[in-house]
Amino acid sequence: MWHKGGPTRTDAPSAVERAAAESGFVLDAAQRVAAERLGVLAAELGPRGRRRRDSVRGVYLWGPPGRGKSWITDTWYRALPPGTAYRVHFHDFFRRLQDAVFAHRDEAGAIDTAMSELVGRAAVVCFDEFHVHDPGDAMLVTRLLRELFERRTTLVATSNYPPDGLLPNPLHHHVFEPAIRLVEDRLDVVEVAGPRDYRTLRQGPPPRSGFRAGALITAAAAGWPGAYGLTAPRPGSAAPLLVNRRTLTARAIQDGTLWIDYPQLCETTTSTADYVVLAERFDTWVVDAVPAWQDCSADGRQRLGSVVDIAYDRDIRLFLAGPDNPGRPPAGAAVPPDHFRTASRLAQLQATG
């Protein structure tokens, strides 16, 4: 529900509505509500996007995957005056925050210093894909939110979960309740839950680069990998890959392409932070030897979901290759907590073989 009071939306069309019209589509009802609320926020920030002495109430957009939450927020963010806002995927920000806090661990106020380094004087911080599943992260996320609000920073977040659905494990949910109360007290919660997952709609041929240029490859795929402009690794092309003080073994590294086997990437003690580093170095990933779903460990399936998340957010061309429907569970199989988001993203990739 919306916070009572404050300025109302102006008669001028919002940046989001204009962008939709220019792209030839019409916002659905849920998207329009979200766009209007962000239009109110832009008006509250003022024409120069400056933070007022009193805090400006933020916005929390949540709903199923593919409903346009990230697109709406990104379009709104790009329309703000330069330097007003800091936009980042929450995975990425949290990794940077942990690194910065560790770097200043011997100093008083390490988290404050880390925050200053990351967001500077931005009046607005936009978190995409805000979610918490690890109880070990919950305390630091709570500290992060308190620090943002003490700075009178306005927070805009997108999520697949309502605030009280964050850290859903009932054994640990109470740990995050202080943060949930902060979100509900300081942000207007807007559900974006239209009837259609727009990611599943094919819009012309796939592009030549970026996430949608990737594919799910089975062993029977004709012309793989040459049909995608790739060259299969030659014997002896394996190479060590140093990532966050750990060494992985890549099958090959070829001009911005990482070719690596699933067991090495997902069945070792890798983490989301490692995938963020790889995304900064390679714009095409081939994850080969992906076994059938039932032959992956529970941790491996969760890590594969994180691989898809990072590749999607960073617009990495991703190929998952394996003999049996790589990355997709059979009907009725157990899936990780966020697999509904992973499935929505995988639907954008070509399926071959």
Would you write out the chain's pLDDT as a tens digit for each of its 353 residues? 344 334 344 434 578 888 888 888 889 999 999 999 999 999 888 766 555 556 799 999 999 988 999 999 999 999 998 888 999 888 788 878 888 888 898 898 888 888 888 888 789 999 998 988 888 888 888 988 998 998 899 999 999 999 999 998 888 999 999 999 999 999 999 999 988 877 766 565 667 789 999 999 987 677 789 989 999 999 999 999 999 889 999 999 998 999 999 999 999 999 888 998 999 999 999 999 999 999 999 999 999 999 998 999 889 999 999 988 899 898 889 888 788 889 888 988 888 75
Angle CA 109–120–167, to nearest 5? 65
- Cα distance from N-terminal residue to C-terminal residue, the chain: 47
pLDDT at residue 112, as a whole number: 84
Element holding 257 (H helix, E strand): strand 257-261
CA–CA dist 258, 111 (Å, integer): 34
Contact present, 251 and 233 (Cβ < 8 Å): yes
Q: Which residues contact 158 (CB under 8 A, 6 or more apart)?
A: 61, 62, 69, 70, 73, 127, 128, 129, 130
Q: Which residues contact 258 (CB under 8 A, 6 or more apart)?
A: 241, 250, 278, 281, 282, 284, 285, 286
pLDDT at residue 49, as a whole number: 56
CA–CA dist 285, 264 (Å, integer): 13
pLDDT at residue 53, as a whole number: 55
